[in-house]
Structure 1
Amino acid sequence: MSNREHYEPGMAFGATIQQDDEQWTLVLVRELAHAPAKVWTAITDPEHLRQWAPFDSDRNLATPGSVRLSTVGTPTPHVTETEVKRAEPPTLLEMSWGDADMRWELEPLQNGGTRLTLWHSIGRDYISMGAAGWHICFDVLDRLLTGKPIGRIVGPEAMKFGWPRLKAEYEGKFGPKPDA
């Protein structure tokens, strides 16, 4: 692992929230200097997911169908039966993760890179926590794609790598509680 001990996430950025009645969605956008096909492999292949994502998958996510996702970094194993609803390599992945719907969109950029957008339905009380967690995961993903992996940083371990500061910054943007 290269420079893991020196990793510190940057300031909170690239996240917005949407509300549709009682449903909240966290939207995260990150521009990566890597082609969509390379990013696609990183977000669908179980070996790649084990290096950056907050879950492990029992199969490749590149095709629709049932899949078991195991949350990483929890005190007790949490395995969810989930469903890949749509997979259109290398541009679109729609799936559930437990009760949460997720949509991953990969848009090619003029410079050969990819704009990665993740829509993640999430409880309002968890938006800032989720934004901070995904922020760190996307940083780790970017380093993996660049060939300088630092290893997955999730769960309690993220506390050592700036997660509390990021959570506070996202709370400043979104607020810690639902609007009354």
Structure 2
Amino acid sequence: MSTSQLPQHPIEAHLSNLGSRWLLVLERTLPNSPQEIWAALTQKDLVRRWAPFDPDRDLTETGFVALPEAGAGAADDRDDADDTDESIGTIVTVAPQRMLSLVWGGDALDIELAPTASATIVRLSHTFDDRENASSYAAGWHLCLTALDGVASGLDVPRMVGEDAKLHGWDALQEKYEDLFSR
């Protein structure tokens, strides 16, 4: 499948200064039910198709979870000694079909679902330390949410994280988000 066949989303995000941290929020309306999106958000084999990490288990229960960066090796094959901050996550909230919250690499990620009559609003909030990373994170999450949209719709979505993100327009997205945040 080519990227042109993937769902398209606007360059849209909000960046807020929280004092010592930053909050990036991307909101997308996806044409899927909360049940379809929840499955893509929590079933490890589906998460691997859209997220920047490869979980070692389904994301359906709170607690620790291995979340190595996508492409760092299959979760089942990696060395158990991979205990870097980026590879260890904590699932904080699991509210089926409403909210998934986790901490990954020291950053808080909240994904909220709000059903409408014919779609679901997905709101991804990422709290992080360094303002310099804002446009990079926004570009990455833009691609991840595009892939989530495709996965939830049953499409065969190409890998769009890590180095593969550059093949799907990450550089241009990063520039557009930097421009958006500099206004």
TM-score scaled by structure 1? 0.87
Structure 2 match to 1:164: 171
Change (3 A) 1:66 1:175: same
Change (3 A) 1:142 1:33: same
1:138 aligns with 2:135: no
Instruction: Please say if residues 9 and 161 of structure 1, whose CA atoms lie closer than 8 Å, have aligned partners that are also in contact.
Output: no
Change (3 A) 1:138 1:5: closer
- Give 1:150 deviation, angstroms: 2.1
Question: Identity over the aligned pairs, expressed in percent?
Answer: 33
Change (3 A) 1:26 1:143: same
Instruction: Please say if residues 54 and 71 of structure 1, whose CA atoms lie closer than 8 Å, have aligned partners that are also in contact.
Output: yes
- Give 1:4 deviation, angstroms: 2.5
CA distance in 1, matches of 2:15, 2:55: 27
Counterpart amino acid of residue 175 in structure 1: S
Q: Which runs of 5+ in 1 are unaligned?
A: none
DSSP 3-state at the match of 1:70: coil
Instruction: Please say if residues 64 and 87 of structure 1, whose CA atoms lie closer than 8 Å, have aligned partners that are also in contact.
Output: yes
Change (3 A) 1:5 1:20: closer
- Give 1:6 deviation, angstroms: 4.2
Instruction: Please say if residues 102 and 120 of structure 1, whose CA atoms lie closer than 8 Å, have aligned partners that are also in contact.
Output: yes
Q: Which runs of 5+ in 2 are unaligned?
A: 74-81
CA distance in 1, matches of 2:150, 2:169: 17
- Give 1:7 deviation, angstroms: 5.4
Q: How many residues align?
A: 172
Within 5 A, what are the aligned runs for 1:67-82? 67-73=65-71, 80-82=87-89
Change (3 A) 1:115 1:5: closer
- Give 1:10 deviation, angstroms: 5.0
CA distance in 2, matches of 1:6, 1:86: 34
TM-score scaled by structure 2? 0.85
Instruction: Please say if residues 7 and 149 of structure 2, whose CA atoms lie closer than 8 Å, have aligned partners that are also in contact.
Output: no
CA distance in 1, matches of 2:150, 2:100: 22
Structure with more of its chain in strand, by fraction: 1
CA distance in 1, matches of 2:58, 2:7: 28
User: Which runs of structure 1 show a deviation greater than 3 angstroms over 4 or more consecutive aligned residues?
Assistant: 5-12
Structure 2 match to 1:16: 14
Instruction: Please say if residues 9 and 146 of structure 2, whose CA atoms lie closer than 8 Å, have aligned partners that are also in contact.
Output: no
CA distance in 2, matches of 1:106, 1:11: 17
Structure 1 match to 2:79: none
CA distance in 2, matches of 1:132, 1:81: 23
Instruction: Please say if residues 9 and 28 of structure 2, whose CA atoms lie closer than 8 Å, have aligned partners that are also in contact.
Output: no
- Give 1:99 deviation, angstroms: 0.5
1:95 aligns with 2:93: no
- Give 1:68 deviation, angstroms: 0.8
- Give 1:74 deviation, angstroms: 6.0
| Residue of structure 1 aligned with 2:122, choices 101, 116, 122 | 116
Counterpart amino acid of residue 71 in structure 1: E
CA distance in 1, matches of 2:96, 2:3: 34
